[in-house]
Amino acid sequence: MTVETDGGDATVATTMVDATVAEPETGDAVSDAEEALIEEGEIAGDYLEQLLDVLDFDGDIDLDVEGDRAIVSIDGGRDLSKLVGRGGEVLDALQELTRLAVQQTTGVRSRLMLDVAGWRAKRRAELSELGTAAAQRVLESGAPEPLASMTPFERKIVHDAVAAVDGVSSESEGVEPNRHVVVVPS
């Protein structure tokens, strides 16, 4: 379903993607959880649509459910990089505000993930490559390799990439905001 809203000078197109999953054998418990995630995404989409209108930004809002998380992305439009900020700082803040807006409506803390202009998707690919390359270097050298400081989101992606390589493992060290991944031989 696509809804076009004209809010003065800005036009925001919202595209809602129905997440369809094969019906599980366990019955309604999973489908109720999925419905709750779809509701989270719709609430987030409404909030972001209003925010984009106030900020006079154009963008398409896509909603999806991936695993146990609502995924909301804003694509298209001009100047969306301003909503990402340096190193994703504005995006992280916007994600937190959106989660709070969902929590205010549902009464439940949201874990939704927000992406703007594909920034998180690109960052995920970069971090996966970084983790895999570091794992290969550690396999060859046998020496632990510390990586740069990262956010929890970024560290999780690197840990997952390293876990896919036999013979190495990873651990997080340090204290925020300087917490980082260290790749070590198994």
DSSP string for residues in the chain: -EEEEEETTEEEEEEEPP---PPPTT-HHHHHHHHHHHHHHHHHHHHHHHHHHHHT---EEEEEEETTEEEEEEESSS-GGGGT-GGGHHHHHHHHHHHHHHHHHHSS----EEEETTHHHHHHHHHHHHHHHHHHHHHHH-S-EEEEE--HHHHHHHHHHHHTSTTEEEEEES-TTS-EEEEEE-
Residues 53 and 18 in one domain: yes
**C-alpha to C-alpha distance for 18 and 51, rounded to whole angstroms:** 23
**C-alpha to C-alpha distance for 2 and 174, rounded to whole angstroms:** 46
Q: What percent of the chain has pLDDT over 90?
A: 72
- Domain of 142 in residue numbering reads as 121-185
Residues 103 and 155 in one domain: no
Give the model's pLDDT for residue 11.
38
Candidates 7, 76, 14; CA nearest to 41 is 14
Give the model's pLDDT for residue 43.
97
Residues 41 and 59 in one domain: yes
Q: Is the pLDDT of residue 20 over 70?
A: no
Residues 22 and 108 in one domain: yes
Summarize the confidence of residues 99-110 as an average pLDDT: 96
Single out the residue in 79, 98, 117 at which a domain terminates.
Answer: 117
Residues 129 and 163 in one domain: yes
Residues 55 and 127 in one domain: no
Per the structure, the count of domains in the chain is 2
Q: Is the pLDDT of residue 21 over 90?
A: no
CATH code of the domain containing 180: 3.30.1370.50
Residue 7: band (very low, low, confident or very high) from pLDDT cuts 50, 70, 90:
very low
Single out the residue in 117, 150, 169 at which a domain terminates.
Answer: 117
**C-alpha to C-alpha distance for 11 and 60, rounded to whole angstroms:** 10
Residues 20 and 112 in one domain: yes
Residues 16 and 94 in one domain: yes
Give the model's pLDDT for residue 28.
56
**C-alpha to C-alpha distance for 32 and 146, rounded to whole angstroms:** 42
Summarize the confidence of residues 75-99 as an average pLDDT: 91
Residues 109 and 129 in one domain: no
**120-176: per-residue pLDDT in tens?**
999 999 999 999 999 999 999 999 999 999 999 899 999 999 999 999 999 999 999
Q: Pairing between strand 10-16 and 60-66?
A: parallel
Give the model's pLDDT for residue 18.
39
Give the model's pLDDT for residue 83.
94
Residues 12 and 102 in one domain: yes
Residues 65 and 77 in one domain: yes
Residues 110 and 151 in one domain: no
Single out the residue in 75, 99, 117 at which a domain terminates.
Answer: 117
**C-alpha to C-alpha distance for 136 and 130, rounded to whole angstroms:** 10
